[in-house]
Amino acid sequence: MTASILSKGQNVSLPGDIERVDVVIGWAESEIEVDASALLIGEDRKVRSDSDFVFYNQPESSDGSVRFLGSSATEGGAQTRIAIDLSAIPDDIHTVALAGSVGTRTFGELGNIAFCVVDGAGQALAEYATADATTESAFLFGEVYRRGGIWKVRAVAQGWASGLAGLATDFGVTIEDDAEGRSADTPFDAGSAAEPEPTAVVPDSTDAVVLDSTEGVVPDTEVAQPDTASVRTVPRRRGVRTSKRVAKNAKPFEFKLAENESWQPARLFSVVGVGAGEEQERRATSALIATMQAVRPFARAVCARMGAPAGSFEGYAEVQYARGESKVIPDVVLKVVRGSRVWTGLLEVKTGNSKLKHDQLESYLDVARKNKYDVVVSLSNDIPAGPGELPVEVDRRKLAKVALRHLSWAEVAHEARMLLSHGGIDDDLQAWLLSEFLRYLDHPRSGAAEFVDMGRHWVAVRDAVTAGTLRAGDQKALAVADTWVSLARHLSLRLTAELGLTVGHILPRRHRVDPAARNAAVAELLATDGIFEAVLRIPDASGDLVVVADLRTNKIRCRTTLDAPDAGTSGRRVSWLLRQLQDVPGDVQVEAVFSEPGNEVCEHLDTVRANPKALTADRAGAIVYFTLEQSLPMGSRRSGTAASFIASVTSAADVFYGRVIEPLRDR
């Protein structure tokens, strides 16, 4: 099925058998955070009540039909997501309006913004890209609406300079944000539509006297002023708060009494006796589910990637279901409770080199459909090249009523590192539990490797590149190309978790939505030039990190480009650069590009340090930008060792970022 590309004002019908869709808003400038929101509105274009406004402080509608799933990193930047259960939307709701907001920034700073409606397997059904925004801080991208019993998608592109509160108000939502904002220490249930405000009342009094904290005494009859000791408080709702809470970090436990570095603290999740196969899978699964049940923010983060609402989580291992005359036993049954709604998913787990099987997943889809469950989730070491893509193909007819999603162990580890390093857990014990779980995943015996294998065609493709016999249309080349894009996504996830900033894998827009075209382009570059290339965009960095794997020279080349200062001579611009490269290895190449076309020069950093004029002598014009590049050795093995191709690419990216890019500052 090919996605419909919409223009502003256009609409398209959704397939008649689709009951659940996700709406994804994606953007490339990942240092700007975009939050998705949805409004359930009737024929009058107004919400029925404040509970029909779904966003980060109220992540689910009262009927459970629309859910805010939060934001995540993608290979193209970042995305935020809303899940819609079309079959559960009340009859008096005609439209679900899908919007986004950016806090103190504007949508004009984001450039192109993609609005995409996808089915349960992540396949795009309708897309719209807009670059119309300027000063707006809230934007209505599109609508999913009902017409004559048929669900449709419409591209809208309408903005509000008054932000999320202004947009919500225009649709009838009552907004009550304090002018001074919310203290990070003030408790507030993010799942409620409004924070209760205390109101004092006299208990057990026939003639009620209300003591409002802001409006004074309003007696129904004249009675004596009550003693303050006899006054109790009850909540009074004022409206929806759009201000965000500030995340707090727990203090990790410190072990200080070891007599030497060889002493290791006892493990919560022991690796002693872990074998392979089923034992390894059971241990990893048990550790994951136990940690999710104990560390609620972690459960919410992982479940959000599965499409679950924010709520109370429970997991049950190896539950048996009847399917005909046989039994089906998923690894875990996942339950999330929010209000009166129970979300249910079936989880299939693989570790090590074990691969998911389509017939097994299809049997789980049958069980889920029969029991009216929401989703089947696969978890393995496979990292699909793009968010929403699946490592195995299944019969798409089975996805009409049940979603199929995939998680990699790398994504699970990513969520744990993000919470530990960059906010979200304020309980010391929970922080220790999560760190112990991450410690278990990091051990080789866990079987939960982040990215370990280039696939069975790697050696044949590598040798064909060296021999000059590889052709872009070779199916083996296309398979390895897909694995390379997965590796690039793995690099972006690792850096995101390390830095606490969303690192994007930059791809042309067409390649983000068309995996076949993306893989063909990667295979063409490999067959023609013998190289893979990945571009990673790191917020606040002076330039992108470009990683080039050259299979013909067995080198990994990492480079970045940064603009030179506008003022000063070329000599001063070189001095400005050298001051930032004091600890950078001397074998890094420095290229200076001048304003005069065709005028550039390249030298090793050691040479420039010894003679800064080596970059400027006899050059016309001023230096416009610098490119820094370093070559590092490339491993050739398929998987499994420090000398492998994957390990060398990962190490090169880490080293170049840490030594070269991180110290650089913009002009």
Model pLDDT for residues 449-474, shown as the tens digit of each residue? 767 678 889 999 999 999 999 999 99
Model pLDDT for residues 307-360, shown as the tens digit of each residue? 887 788 999 998 999 888 889 999 999 999 876 778 999 999 999 878 888 889
- Which residue has better confidence, 481 or 241? 481
Say how far apart CA 217 and CA 232 lie, in whole Å: 15
∠ CA(648), CA(653), CA(659), 5° rounding? 120
Instruction: Give the per-residue pLDDT at 255.
Output: 77
Please name each of the domains of the chain with its CATH number: 4-170 (2.60.60.30), 196-237 (no CATH), 278-446 (no CATH), 458-661 (no CATH)
Select from 473, 465, 507, 511 the least CA-distant residue to 488.
507
Select from 366, 393, 377, 374 the least CA-distant residue to 305.
377
Model pLDDT for residues 584-641, shown as the tens digit of each residue? 999 999 999 998 887 889 999 999 999 988 888 877 788 999 999 999 988 877 655 5
Q: What is the mean pLDDT of residues 156-171?
A: 88
| CB-based contact 391:315 (threshold 8 Å) | no
Q: What is the mean pLDDT of residues 394-419?
A: 86
What strand order describes the sheet that includes 555-563?
Answer: 504-505, 531-537, 545-550, 555-563, 623-633, 589-594, 600-604
Mean pLDDT of the chain: 81
Instruction: Give the per-residue pLDDT at 184.
Output: 35
| CB-based contact 394:362 (threshold 8 Å) | yes
- Which residue has better confidence, 467 or 81? 467
Query: What 8-state DSSP symbol labels residue 479?
Result: H
Q: What is the mean pLDDT of residues 380-409?
A: 81
Please say whether the dihedral angle defined by the alpha carbons of residues 545, 548, 553 and 555, taken in this order, is positive or negative. positive
Instruction: Give the per-residue pLDDT at 249.
Output: 61
Instruction: Give the per-residue pLDDT at 568.
Output: 83
How many other C-beta atoms are found inside a 10 Å radius of the C-beta of residue 178? 12
Considering the entire predicted model, what is its pTM?
A: 0.61
Is residue 112 predicted with pLDDT exceeding 80? no
| CB-based contact 359:389 (threshold 8 Å) | no
Token look-up 């080199």 returns 353
